[in-house]
A and B are shown apart, each in its own frame.
Chain A
Amino acid sequence: MEYTNLFKMCGYELEEIENERSRIDKAFEMLELGPKDIERALETIPQNFDIELAGVRKLLGIWLEELLDLMLAKEEGKKLIYGTAPGFPCECLEAIRVAAPDKVYCANPEFLLGTVLDSLFGKHDELVEVAEGYGLPPGFAHCSVGETKLGGVVKKYIPVPDLAICMGIFCDQTPETEEMLSEVYGFPQPVYVDNCLDLNWDEWDKIPLRKIEYLASQVRRALDRAQEIIGVEITDDHIQKARVNLFRTLDGLMSIYGLLENDPIPISVGNIMPIYYLYFNPIAGREKLIEACQTLHQEGRQRIAKGYAVVPKGAPRVLFTCLPNIDNSVVHIAEKAGLVMIMQTVLWPIEAQRKKTVQGPLLRLAETYLRNPYLCGYGPINMQWIRETSRHYNADGVFWYWMYSCRVQAALNPIALRKWITDELGLPVLILEGDFHSTREYSGEASRTRIEAFAEVLRARKAAKSN
């Protein structure tokens, strides 16, 4: 089967491809990927991403490589340990990986699989449709990440792991799905990382110790189980290393967002999502990822120097929450409508998050997460968050694209936040119900009119101001 072009498009060198060929063949066979799929991939990728950029090509390559590793981990004699979407706290799996890179492969398989099959191979929603017949029916707003995982398991694309760590720190659906996998589809009984979303309205900048300790102990318990599996002790150093790794990746990611502070923007935000979605996955190719970021950053600087413009100068600039990782049509519609998304509010570290009240990597880890507003899905911090980001970036509006099937994001209540943002900050807000991991019900097309109208609202405001 001929996939050389595909892998070249994804930043592979020829000899790399040759060396990998046997692995690729095996993995593609397991995933039932044939010539047709390769063709589609060759069309899809350029539509979704700006492959002129070497950095982007490298990124895509990492996705493919990780998927290969996942598929082959077992027969290459590694233990397989899964986390679950949304994957937080990522340090947990990263620490396990760091402790014994050669003994274990860690992953959130639903992300790898979903992203590669959808955004690279354009096999939209194949797995989602499967899942709908196996316990996650359509029409009831089941999370498409969970559906992707269930579909992958049913289709036997996702190997059964040696240990499943269920990240239930803010999502209720994942644990339910995970339980179904163990009761009905022969997955191991998961070990849970639990948490309670019980911060009080005025508590948001002083996280109670008991909450930190509870989350920390949950993570520690998971690590202990992992130790038994991999036979290597997971120490505080490993945890510390894991945290450092993630910080380094985050720096890379932020440096790319830094490019967008330039007007006009040199690259489409659509190319950044692959980094974001890799960043919190325990990938083996972590160093490559950081490299790729540097490459992309340099390319961006060069474009700026050349005055390259993805969207004409002077376009309204908005903050956004998050974007699909499988389909960039929303981004392209927005940018075509002359709307620039400059910063993903989730990533901005607000004052309160920088505070440290505890010592030791484990407790620190826990505290960082409890201070993350999006993750603890918590109104007041979100308000603070948007206040600080909008000030720092002097944004013209907020583009609230949220995952309709995610109860956390629903409970976060965009409607209430819109009221607050418009009243307090006087910024227009567009709330878009969407889906990060499926195009089955929400395609970019469906929201074209609203995005374009929103762009007009912002332009009109700018015009009014300048008058």
Chain B
Amino acid sequence: MQAGEELSTHLRTRVIELTKMKGQGHKIIGYTPGGYMPEELLYACGAMPVPVGLIRGGEHEPVLVAGAYLPRWLDTFCRAQIGYKVLREEALYDLIDLLVVPVTDNNIRAIADCWNFYTDTEVFRFGVPHSKTDNGFQYYLEGINLLKEKLEQLTGTEITESRLREAINLCNRERELLSELSLMRKFERPPLSGRDFIELNHASFLADKKVMVEALQSFRAELKQKEAPVPGWPRILLTGSTLAFGDYKIYDLIEGAGASVVIEEFAEGVRHFSEVVHTDGALMEALADRYFVRRVPPAWFRPARERLDYLVKLAKDFNVNGVIWYQLMYRDSYDIESYYFPDILRSETGLSMLKIESDYDVSEIGPFRTRVETFIETIK
């Protein structure tokens, strides 16, 4: 696809661009995944967001190297982040002027603390409460207000109402387009594969927003007249804790076994596009409302049933044939839910679920392949 070509050329030169922009005094702001960092604020003060962590994962060496800095009993992806930092293999990580960490759980906190302790990166934390209560909302709102101040002071640019509104509109546009593309996968023969979609989703974290929006528009156009390439394979809902950029093993295995991922639900790594920010009323409240209240919470919320019900809903809406639960080692919240969710799923939809737990280890591929293949067999 032509749009694809343009986008990938843009992405290839992105690091150089950012390096130049940094040279011209732009601030590069890194942030950890989880969908609790309102990008809008960054754009509104002319800083460049670089999603740390989210953008890299799935490789074993950083995980191993992390062994020297952190016991191995924390989430694989979070361990990997300190690995990448010390390996200096990820150009983007070295551009970061400030790392913003919305603290969701101890695994994410580990990233912030390791960068604080072992590197000289400046880290800014704000907490994400674990219950959708009024206190919670207030606390989160305060959090992003503090972030706002921090950013203004760092960039020396005031985040005015109008610039913020502009940023929000841009981001909303991107979300709408992504969700349109995603919804196309409801068709019996989706016009784009799960892997295509997720790479697009990941690209949206790296690419320049305007370029991205254009790319998405032309994608949509192309897909509209495109004959669906994906055959009528069994349809999979893929869910789990983190789906990192580069961690496509699971997609390759599923598609290799003759099934297609038609919808994903992940706490970290993918851009959440189903809700937009309301632009009527006070904008900071609106952000908190979108990012904290209306966002489907991850497993470490208290309680977290909302997510499970959402999964059931997705399974029905996208009329899937099975659910694959792909999580990383030692992300305990997900482990525990994976014990009782299958029963809920079966009783609500009659579907069955396969759970896979990865430590980003190459030697996993063999066993995974067999398990995925047999699962696909059974749901055909």
Contacts and interface: CB of A to CB of B under 8 A. Distances in A.
Interface string B8-21: 00001101100110
Interface in B31-75: 56, 58-61
A463 B19 contact: yes
Given A139-B363, A460-B15, A467-B23, A449 B89 contact: no
Contact of B365 (A338, A441, A459): A441
A234 interface: no
B80 to A, nearest CB: 12
Contacts of B13: 459
A459 B362 contact: no
A406 interface: no
A457 interface: yes
Interface of A: 138-139, 337-338, 422, 428, 430-431, 433, 440-442, 445-450, 453-454, 456-457, 459-460, 463-464, 467
A453 B362 CA distance: 19
Interface of B: 12-13, 15-16, 19-20, 23, 56, 58-61, 88-91, 245-246, 249, 252, 362-363, 365-366
A456 B61 contact: no
Contact of B89 (A442, A457, A463): A457
Contact of A441 (B15, B20, B88, B363): B363
B89 A441 contact: no
B366 A441 contact: yes
Interface of chain B, helix or strand or loop or mixed? Answer: helix
Given A138-B363, A430-B89, 7 more contacts: A139-B363, A440-B366, A446-B365, A448-B246, A450-B89, A457-B15, A459-B16
B21 to A, nearest CB: 12
B91 A442 contact: no
A332 to B, nearest CB: 16
A454 B89 contact: yes
B90 A433 contact: no
Contacts of B12: 337-338, 456
A160 B89 CA distance: 47
B366 A449 contact: no
Nearest to A430: B89
A447 B61 CA distance: 11
Contacts of A445: 252
Given A441-B362, A467-B23, A459 B15 contact: yes
A433 B63 CA distance: 13
A138 B56 CA distance: 28
Nearest to B247: A449
Across the A-B interface, the 8 shortest Cβ-Cβ residue pairs? A449-B246, A463-B16, A457-B91, A456-B15, A460-B91, A460-B15, A456-B91, A441-B362
9 contacts: A139-B363, A433-B61, A449-B56, A449-B58, A453-B91, A457-B90, A457-B91, A459-B15, A467-B20
Contacts of A448: 246
